[in-house]
Each structure stands twice: as structure tokens, then as C-alpha cells.
Amino acid sequence: MSTDVILKVAHVSKVYGQQQRLIDKLKGQPAQGVRAVSDVSFSIVHGQTMGLVGESGCGKSTIARLVSGLVQPTEGQIELASTPGKTVRPRLQMIFQDPFTSLNGRWTIERSIAEPIIVHGLRTSKAAIRARVDELLEMVGLSSGDREKYPQEFSGGQRQRICIARALAGEPDFLILDEPTSALDVSVQAQVLNLLRDLQARLNLTSLFITHNLSVVRIMADRIGVMYLGELVEEAPAATLFEKPQHPYTRLLIDAAPGMDVEDRALHPILGELPSPSSPPQGCRFHTRCPFVQPKCRTDAPEARPRPDGGMFRCHFNLELGQGGKAAGSSLANELSLSA
């Protein structure tokens, strides 16, 4: 692993439910059950944020659980390294969607935030621990006066700030944020996202940022992975992904996104229904909704192909913007054409 790669995910798949039967294994057939994640690969370098975006059920949280070690991959490898210059085992912290269940209601804020400090032996004296808790509270926009309070005394946005302080208290090499603002009111979301952006820059955090909101991931991530039915269908630096999406699904998501406001609009059921992840379509998984579907797409699963910016996409064809670019009122299929 190159020195500043903190996380490397290589050809990882996760099947929930039934274990692989011996007979299937001998026949070389995959395990039955829900294939939540399929052959996903990406890596994250020190100080960068990788964003994962996709509709509900596409496997985002499963990737979070795999990376954090809460579940084991059915296939593939996950390697986590510590921050360059550090020799201790890499530390990982998670921030979840729901700040209401992430905190122990019977613990004071001080106890919740102090716990990771104590567990990892980052401060030892009582005074030093308290000083660190105060520093963290201030860092997330709360005050030392909040130390003795309980989670119930705070709003959703404030509780998520507390969860962020608690995650940072463990001085993680790597942070996983799984829909950290999805449960919050729109106005509060923007504030929490601003805080996270500040902290990213100030602390040079390395993170995996998961969301179903393309506008959010655009603000937060250096690189973006687009997921569809358990697969990573495109992955690229954020700027060039938006400039030149290569996968039809990415292109549709960008066209359907509500601009740069973070208003929480789910990725629309843009083209009919999302197929069930337990029985994904044969060939290209997107073929039932793709405006450019060709006969080959129904039978052959596309391999990952390189993008010029070092990213990748999974489509048999190249997406090209038609003459004159995007014309008002025209349908996407008229604006774009495919070339083999």
C-alpha cells in the first residue's frame, strides 16, 4: 500500500443472509441472499474525503459497516493504515445518521466525549481530560457550560455536534460519516455541513462521507463514487465527475440534482422503479432504467473502464454530449449519444 493511502478497498463484495452453500461453492456459483455490495474497489489518501452517493438500498451503509469492521466481506480485502508518521494501530470513528440514538441518554455530555479519550489513553489526568472535552465542545460550536447536560436537553443539530466532538475525541486516523445530516432539518443541515467542512480543513481529516444527496457530496468530497444496486458505477475526482460524467446514471443524477442548495431531496426515482437488490438485472444492472440501453447491455456486465482523470466507470459505451450541448426542453436521450 502506498504510504499515504489510508484506506484501500479491493474487490469487496458482501452477501447478507444465506451463507454460501458448499454445493454452490463447488460449482463456482455465488452465495444466495442479498448481494448488498458487489466487487467494489476504491482507496482514500491521507487528508482526503471520499464521497459515496446513491439511492437508498444501493449498499452505502454496508460499505460503512465493512470498512469499520462491523461486518466481514464475503469476498475481497479491506486495508486500513495509520496516518503517515504514526506507528500505532489505525483508529476509526463513525458518525451516524441518527444523533438521537447515537448518544447514551443517561450519560452527561462530558462523559460521552471523555470516554474515547480515556479508552485510548489520550489524556490521563482528570484536569487534562476536562480541558480536552472543553476544547472539543468549543471546536463544534458548543460551550463548556454544556458539559453537565444530558443529550435530551439538546436539539438534533446540537446532538450531531456532540456526536462529532465524541468522534474527534478519539483522534481518529479515519472518519466514517454515514448520512450525518439526513435526519436534520434543512436549515440545520447546512450549519452542520459547514462545521464539518471547517473541521476537514482544520484537522486535515481523512474520511468516507456517505449520502444520498448529490449536492451534499459535491460540497464535502474530494473524490466521489456513484453507487447503483451494490456496484460502484463511476468514481472520479469531484470536479471532473460533475464536468464530464461518463456513466449514464451519473449524468441523470447530475441533471436531476437541485443545484447547490442542500435541500434534502432524495435521488429521485428518475426512471421508473429501482430493481430489487436481491435480484439485480442481468448484464448491466442499470439496463432496466438506462435511456441508452443496447442489446449487449442486457447480457454482458460492463467491466470497470478508466476515465482520463484516473477515475473509472462501468458502461460499455462512451457518453458524448450532442451538438450544441444541453437544449432546453429536450430529453436527455436526444442531447447525448453513445459511441462504442
Binding residues vs ligand ADP (CB under 6 A): 16-17, 34, 36, 54, 56-62, 277
Nearer to ligand ADP, 56 or 334 (CB): 56
Site for ligand SF4 in 279-338 (CB under 6 A): 284, 286-287, 290, 292-294, 297, 302, 315-317
Q: How far is the CB of 29 from Mg ion (least distance, A)?
A: 28
Nearer to Mg ion, 137 or 176 (CB): 176
Residue 61 found at the interface with Mg ion (CB under 5 A): yes
Nearer to ligand SF4, 116 or 248 (CB): 248
Q: How far is the CB of 286 from ligand SF4 (least distance, A)?
A: 4
Nearer to ligand ADP, 53 or 297 (CB): 53
Q: Give, for 74, the enclosing helix (H) or strand (E).
A: none
Distance CA 28, CA 317 (A): 29
57 interface partner picked from ligand SF4, ligand ADP, Mg ion, none, CB below 5 to 8 A per type: ligand ADP
Q: How far is the CB of 231 from ligand ADP (least distance, A)?
A: 12
Q: Closest Cα partner for 249 from 209, 295, 296, 302?
A: 302
Q: How far is the CB of 247 from ligand SF4 (least distance, A)?
A: 6
DSSP per residue, 87-137: -SPP-EEEE-S-TTTSS-TTS-HHHHHHHHHHHTTS--SHHHHHHHHHHHH
Q: Report the SS3 class of residue 309.
A: coil
Q: Closest Cα partner for 206 from 116, 84, 110?
A: 84
**Phi, psi (5° rounding) for residue 332?**
-55, -40
Cα 240 versus chain centre, distance: 18
58 interface partner picked from Mg ion, ligand ADP, ligand SF4, none, CB below 5 to 8 A per type: ligand ADP
Q: Are strands 5-16 and 75-80 parallel, antiparallel or unpaired?
A: antiparallel
Q: How far is the CB of 65 from ligand SF4 (least distance, A)?
A: 27
287 interface partner picked from ligand SF4, Mg ion, ligand ADP, none, CB below 5 to 8 A per type: ligand SF4
Whether the CA torsion 225, 227, 230, 235 is positive or negative: it is negative
34-45: strand order across its sheet = 34-45, 5-16, 75-80
Cell for 29? 456459483
Nearer to Mg ion, 60 or 287 (CB): 60
Q: How far is the CB of 218 from ligand ADP (least distance, A)?
A: 18
Nearer to ligand SF4, 182 or 294 (CB): 294
Binding site for ligand SF4 (CB under 6 A): 248, 284, 286-287, 290, 292-294, 297, 302, 315-317
